[in-house]
Amino acid sequence: MTDSVKNNSQKDNINKAAKPQDGNQEAELQDRLLRLGAEFENYRKRVQREREDLIKYAGESFILELLHIVDNFERAFQAADKTQDFKVLHQGVEMILKEVENFLKEKGVKKMATVGSQFDPHKHEAIENVVSNDRPENIIVEELQPGYELNGKVIRPARVKISKKEAK
């Protein structure tokens, strides 16, 4: 059988199935159509609700992990209040900073290395030009605020000072 004959045969079968034989079948098809429409509408509403919930609670696990760090800050301040020792507070905050850095690393956040590298406007924000004849132009000489990448994408550019040759 050729393709055109198969297609015509399939069209005839579809047309026969679509044409009701009597009023009872027409009512059944109408009822089925209404039910399918209602099922689809319920499905659409459920998917929309699930999407809203996903957006609403997407940060829940992130926040739970962050709360652990907040608890450690509270403990550090309580310990410092009891001892009135700045050294204890300093050690506690230093430990928490390391915990935050590890947390960010686990989430794919990486601090960008800047000093001594070539200025890149996609990764760095030049805050100041520093005249320097002993360095090539557009080399970062100081970092004012670190920049960060999330899985290779810059999420915050580093704020830096860059070298410039003296104008003659």
Taking each helix axis from N to C end, the angle separating 86-106 and 60-83, rounded to the nearest 10 degrees, works out to: 170
Query: pTM value?
Result: 0.62
Report the pLDDT value the prediction gives residue 45, as an integer from 0 to 100: 96
Q: What is the pLDDT of residues 12-31, one digit of tens each?
A: 555 555 554 567 899 999 99
pLDDT band at 2 (very low <50, low <70, confident <90, very high): low
Report the pLDDT value the prediction gives residue 42, as an integer from 0 to 100: 95
The DSSP secondary structure of the chain, one letter per residue, reads --HHHHHHHHHHHHHHHHS-SSHHHHHHHHHHHHHHHHHHHHHHHHHHHHHHHHHHHTTHHHHHHHHHHHHHHHHHHHHHHHH--HHHHHHHHHHHHHHHHHHHHHTTEEEPP-TTSBP-TTTEEEEEEEE-SSS-TTBEEEEEE--EEETTEEEEPEEEEEEEPPP-
Instruction: Give dist(CA 9, CA 115) in Å, integer.
Output: 75
Instruction: Give dist(CA 145, CA 159) in Å, integer.
Output: 5
Average pLDDT over residues 137-165: 94
Q: What is the pLDDT of residues 68-81, one digit of tens each?
A: 899 988 888 888 88
Instruction: Give dist(CA 17, CA 137) in Å, integer.
Output: 78
Q: Which residue has the higher pLDDT, 12 or 57?
A: 57
Which stretch of 6-15, 103-112, 114-123 has the lowest confidence by average pLDDT?
Answer: 6-15
Burial class from Cβ neighbours inside 10 Å (0-12, 13-18, 19+) for residue 160 reads: buried
Per the CB < 8 A criterion, the answer to whether 98 and 124 are in contact is: no
**Site of tokens 């609670």:** 57
